[in-house]
Amino acid sequence: MKFYIETYGCQMNVADSEVVTAILQKHGYILVNNIDEAEIILVNTCSIRENAETRVRGRIKVFQQIKKQKQQIKIGVLGCMAERLKDQLLEQEVAVDLVVGPDSYKKLPYIIDNVVSGSKKVETELSKEETYEDILPYRYETNGISAFVSITRGCQNYCSYCIVPYVRGVERSRSPESIINEIRELKNNQYKEVTLIGQNVDSYLYKDISFSQLLKIVAQEFPNIRIRFSTNHPKDMSNSLLEVMATYPNICKHVHLPVQSGSNKMLQLMNRGYTREQYLKLIENIRKNIPDVAISTDIMVGFCDENEDDHRQTLSLMKEVGYDFAFMFKYSERSGTYAAKYLKDNVPEKEKIRRLNEVIALQNELSYKSKQQDVGKTFEVLVEGYSKKSKKQLMGRNSQNKVIVFDVMDNVIFGDFVKVNVESFTSATLIGKMIKS
Ligand code: SAH
Ligand code: SF4
Ligand code: F3S
């Protein structure tokens, strides 16, 4: 049978869709890129904010139309919405035939078999052990150069606003051997960059191996592979990690360190486990150890009881840090979380939008400054492909994760490391010239 898969949400879901694909292929199912050829349509979903779920429901409506023409088609919902809503999804969305949560993908081939023979099926048991470490993901949506490698699953930090612990279960770490094996396989297939991913990579722990030790092992084992990682958590990021980052040139000089808010009152309500002062101290420490580091963040405005003063503190923290880039959101209440149960979603929508716009405007200024400071510098860039605009230009990223576009030069192929001197920039990218080596 032919299947088609569509992915929403975070990097973890991208990695999971690659696991799902590998599992189905092993059982004889065939991946198709064109939805019209599919006999099974799978959608891997996200529940992090209301609008993430709304988007998926919109897609299910489109699949329903396809199903009207071809009734034998089966539609499956995977991922975080599957886990959150379980059989409610079958009731609410008539087009849906199967609902499978993030820890049940090994059962997927059997569930599809059952569904084809006529029954509807829901499988969403969260596991304490499942890591899929015995499965080699099938990279189907890839540039062939850079891949995600999951190192932990789940999260138990219980930030008060966040649905992830409820839909992804307890935190589990994969064995270093299985991580190394996966990276070796990528290397053998000419990949040049891996991003180690987890909801909080800093709490990776396998037997007595910590994240900084894992990173050191990987950096030593693969000196010619670029290594990135995400997401760090301000309450857990260690000094030894900074030492490892500073020691190995193949570890990228970029830290994604979500702050959420600059107000201690908000950080406490969010249950983030650090203060503004501790966060700023950590930033100082990162910069001291890794002078050329880029720092990015996530910011959430309009959480319960956030007032104008709290909001001002977020803006002032952003300025103080001078983030290179940021992902910015307005709070969306998720039922079942601590905040939904015990706090009031009392910032009016209009006010949330105003604050979000202010945060975005400030970040635009900061990103501008960050790029301005790169003009005149020379970076090592990993070539990923052509620029979006033209095949006369190549694009890649530097160690700091900034996108750089430059004119095509003879003999350069995708996957090469080249030296590029930055000459100017646009709102999204640095523009440079390659230096002949
Ligand atoms: N594990 C990562 C974050 C994963 S979710 C961490 O702890 O940093 C990515 C981002 O989505 C979060 O950093 C937060 O800014 C945002 N987010 C999470 N829950 C949200 C909610 N209920 N409403 C709005 N944004 C949310
Ligand atoms: Fe959510 Fe917090 Fe876990 Fe991140 S660390 S996934 S924000 S509970
Ligand atoms: Fe969304 Fe699930 Fe990731 S809720 S952000 S896809 S872990």
For residue 98, the surrounding DSSP H or E stretch is strand 98-100
> CB neighbours (10 Å) of residue 387?
20
- Domain-embedded: residue 225: yes
CA distance 98 to 75: 7
Residue 164 C-alpha to ligand 1 middle, in angstroms? 9
- Residue type present at position 399: S
- Domain-embedded: residue 146: yes
Residues 368 and 392 in one domain: no
Residues 242 and 299 in one domain: no
Instruction: List phi, psi (to 5°) of 123.
Output: -140, 110
Residues 332 and 417 in one domain: no
pTM of the model: 0.96
Q: How confident is the model at residue 141 (pLDDT cuts 50, 70, 90)?
A: confident
Residues 198 and 214 in one domain: yes
Distances (CA, A) of 397 to 48, 292, 377: 28, 15, 14
CA distance 225 to 146: 10
**Does ligand 2 have an atom closer than 6 angstroms to the CB of 338?**
no
pLDDT at 223 over 80: yes
Domain that holds residue 314: 276-373
Supply the DSSP symbol for 419: E
- 235 burial level (CB within 10 Å; 0-12, 13-18, 19+): middle
Tokens matching residue 220: 């030593």
Tokens matching residue 138: 């099938």
Q: Which atom of ligand 3 is the closest one to the Cα of 44?
A: 6
- Assess contact for 47 and 167: CB atoms under 8 A: yes
What CATH number did the domain enclosing 363 receive?
3.30.750.200
In 263-321 the beta strands, taken as DSSP E runs, fall at 294-301
CA distance 370 to 276: 22
Task: Pick the last residue of a domain from 252, 285, 311.
Answer: 252
Instruction: Report pLDDT digits (tens) over 8-28.
Output: 999 999 999 999 999 999 999
Residue to mutate, 14, 44, 48, 100, ligand 3, most ligand atoms under 8 Å from C-beta: 48
Which ligand has an atom closest to residue 157 CA? 2
What CATH number did the domain enclosing 389 receive?
2.40.50.140
- Domain-embedded: residue 47: yes
What CATH number did the domain enclosing 155 receive?
3.30.750.210
Tokens matching residue 381: 């860039």
Give me the number of domains the chain comprises.
Answer: 4
Tell me, rounded to whole angstroms, the distance of Cα 37 from its chain centroid.
29
Share of the chain above pLDDT 90, in %: 95
| Atom 1 in ligand 2: residue holding the nearest Cα | 162
Task: Pick the last residue of a domain from 320, 346, 373.
Answer: 373
- Domain-embedded: residue 57: yes
pLDDT at 410 over 90: no
Instruction: Report pLDDT digits (tens) over 160-210.
Output: 999 999 999 999 999 999 999 999 999 999 999 999 999 999 999 999 999
**Does ligand 2 have an atom closer than 6 angstroms to the CB of 162?**
yes
CA distance 248 to 289: 12
Residues 13 and 95 in one domain: yes
261-297 per-residue burial string, b: 16 or more CB within 10 A, e: under 16: bbbbebbebbebebebeebbebbeebbebbeebbbbb
**Does ligand 3 have an atom closer than 6 angstroms to the CB of 245?**
no
- Assess contact for 355 and 301: CB atoms under 8 A: yes
CA distance 405 to 396: 7
Q: How confident is the model at residue 409 (pLDDT cuts 50, 70, 90)?
A: confident
- Domain-embedded: residue 58: yes
Residues 116 and 20 in one domain: yes
Which ligand has an atom closest to residue 12 CA? 3
Q: How confident is the model at residue 325 (pLDDT cuts 50, 70, 90)?
A: very high
| Atom 4 in ligand 2: residue holding the nearest Cα | 199
Provide the pLDDT for residue 315. Answer: 98
pLDDT at 437 over 80: no
Residues 398 and 290 in one domain: no
Please confirm whether the linkage preceding 429 is cis (ω < 30° from 0).
Answer: no
pLDDT at 131 over 70: yes
- Domain-embedded: residue 195: yes
Residue 216 C-alpha to ligand 1 middle, in angstroms? 28
Provide the pLDDT for residue 264. Answer: 98
- Domain-embedded: residue 262: no
Provide the pLDDT for residue 118. Answer: 83
C-alpha closest to that of 136 among 301, 56, 20, 248: 20
CA distance 162 to 47: 10
Distances (CA, A) of 10 to 16, 188, 416: 10, 26, 27
| Atom 9 in ligand 1: residue holding the nearest Cα | 298
Residues 112 and 204 in one domain: no
pLDDT at 120 over 90: no
Residues 363 and 389 in one domain: no
Residue 78 C-alpha to ligand 3 middle, in angstroms? 11
Provide the pLDDT for residue 71. Answer: 87
Tokens matching residue 336: 């079942």
Residue to mutate, 160, 197, 199, 201, ligand 2, most ligand atoms under 8 Å from C-beta: 199
Residues 147 and 243 in one domain: yes
- Assess contact for 323 and 297: CB atoms under 8 A: yes
- Ligand 1 neighbours, Cβ below 6 Å, are 48-49, 161-162, 199-200, 231, 233, 258, 260, 298, 300, 329, 331-332, 334
CA distance 298 to 342: 24
Residues 191 and 232 in one domain: yes
Residues 78 and 116 in one domain: yes
- Domain-embedded: residue 129: no
Residue 224 C-alpha to ligand 3 middle, in angstroms? 31
Residue 81 C-alpha to ligand 3 middle, in angstroms? 9
- 366 burial level (CB within 10 Å; 0-12, 13-18, 19+): middle
Q: Which atom of ligand 1 is the closest one to the Cα of 327?
A: 15
Give the pLDDT mean for 216-230: 98
Task: Pick the last residue of a domain from 373, 404, 427.
Answer: 373
